[in-house]
């Protein structure tokens, strides 16, 4: 919080693979705010529905499931871990299958409402850097700082391929690009809270920028806005 009265909200939205997670996490550290990865919450719903045999095409079942989940972010050094009903699912939610599932389950308004409510509660008493698809448009339209972080699909698929191979997973760059484009289409074309840039968001295209450069740029922007 800047003055002890109201928390500051930095909203970062953008498409898959734009570097939101890494950048939002580092920015939060730099500003001393809490980092919240809302994509991880949609991923948790996809993971639990798969485990419980609830179809990604079953909006009522998914809504009931979402309302039953206790989601909690726990700080772990420089990272944060996501606990679902006490179980650490941070690794299990990072597979290509669950990426696709998250994009499928996030179509349904019942799932979105339940998660948006939790996201708003998480930020009631602390300054946050929150990243996702609808933070500046739906979750916190009143956020003091709104960033739309993006990069070309080719650059985003290059980063995803590198990320997967760092984790020891074989990835075909062409297939990764196709998955990125499919996910863009689903996230942008869905009926409820599609991915779009808020009118008052600042667009940052990260092609050719290093992570440090982007963080530095956003920190200056956030510090300026939070004081205003």
Q: Give the residue with the Cβ less far from ligand DC, 5 or 142.
A: 142
| Region near ligand DC per CB under 6 A, out of 27-35, 36-44, 78-86, 214-222 | 36-44
Among 203, 201, 228, 224, residue whose Cα is nearest residue 141: 201
Q: What is the largest CA-CA distance in the chain?
A: 50
Could you say which of 9, 16, 222, 226 contacts ligand DC (CB under 6 A)?
Answer: 16
- Contacts (Cβ under 8 Å, ≥6 apart) of 204: 147, 148, 149, 150, 214, 217, 218
Q: Is 134 in the site for ligand DC (CB under 6 A)?
A: yes
Could you say which of 33, 35, 42, 108 contacts ligand DC (CB under 6 A)?
Answer: 42
- Smallest distance from ligand DC to CB 228, Å: 25
CA distance 46 to 222: 32
Task: Give residue for tokens 């800047």.
Answer: 2
Contact 17, 177 (CB under 8 A): no
Q: Is 183 in the site for ligand DC (CB under 6 A)?
A: yes
The Cβ-side half-sphere exposure at 153, using a 13 Å CA radius, reads 13
Query: Which SS3 state, helix, strand or coil, does residue 21 take?
Result: helix
Count Cβ atoms below 10 Å from residue 114 Cβ, excluding itself.
21
- Smallest distance from ligand DC to CB 193, Å: 7
Could you say which of 34, 106, 144, 161 contacts ligand DC (CB under 6 A)?
Answer: 106
Task: Give residue for tokens 């990069």.
Answer: 151
Q: Give the residue with the Cβ less far from ligand DC, 33 or 187.
A: 187
- Smallest distance from ligand DC to CB 39, Å: 2
Q: Give the residue with the Cβ less far from ligand DC, 132 or 226.
A: 132
Q: Is 102 in the site for ligand DC (CB under 6 A)?
A: yes
Q: Is 39 in the site for ligand DC (CB under 6 A)?
A: yes
Q: Give the residue with the Cβ less far from ligand DC, 127 or 193.
A: 193
| Region near ligand DC per CB under 6 A, out of 70-78, 102-110, 151-159, 207-215 | 102-110
- Smallest distance from ligand DC to CB 12, Å: 10
Among 16, 38, 21, residue whose Cα is nearest residue 179: 16
CA distance 56 to 190: 14
The alpha carbons of the chain give a radius of gyration, in whole angstroms, of 17
Q: Is 104 in the site for ligand DC (CB under 6 A)?
A: no
Which residues in this chain contact ligand DC in the complex, by CB under 6 A? 16, 38-39, 42-43, 99, 102-103, 106, 132-134, 183, 187
């Amino acid at each position: 919080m800047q003055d002890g009265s109201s928390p500051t909200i930095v909203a970062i939205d953008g498409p898959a693979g734009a570097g939101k997670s890494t950048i939002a996490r580092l920015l939060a550290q730099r500003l001393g705010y809490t980092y919240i990865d809302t994509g991880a919450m949609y991923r948790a719903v996809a993971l639990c529905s798969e485990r419980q045999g609830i179809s990604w095409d079953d909006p009522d079942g998914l809504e009931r499931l979402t309302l039953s989940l206790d989601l909690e972010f726990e700080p772990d050094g420089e990272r944060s871990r996501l606990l679902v009903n006490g179980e650490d699912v941070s690794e299990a939610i990072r597979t290509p299958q669950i990426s696709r599932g998250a994009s499928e389950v996030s179509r349904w308004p019942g799932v979105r409402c339940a998660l948006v409510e939790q996201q708003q509660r998480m930020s009631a008493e602390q300054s946050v850097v929150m990243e996702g698809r609808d933070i500046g448009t739906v979750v916190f339209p009143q956020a003091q700082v709104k960033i739309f972080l993006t990069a070309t699909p080719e650059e985003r698929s290059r980063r995803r391929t590198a990320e997967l191979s760092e984790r020891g997973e074989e990835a075909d760059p062409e297939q990764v690009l196709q998955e990125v484009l499919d996910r863009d289409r689903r996230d942008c074309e869905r009926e409820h809270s599609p991915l779009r840039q808020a009118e008052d968001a600042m667009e940052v295209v990260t092609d050719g920028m290093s992570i440090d450069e982007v963080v530095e740029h956003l920190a200056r922007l956030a510090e300026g806005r939070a004081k205003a």
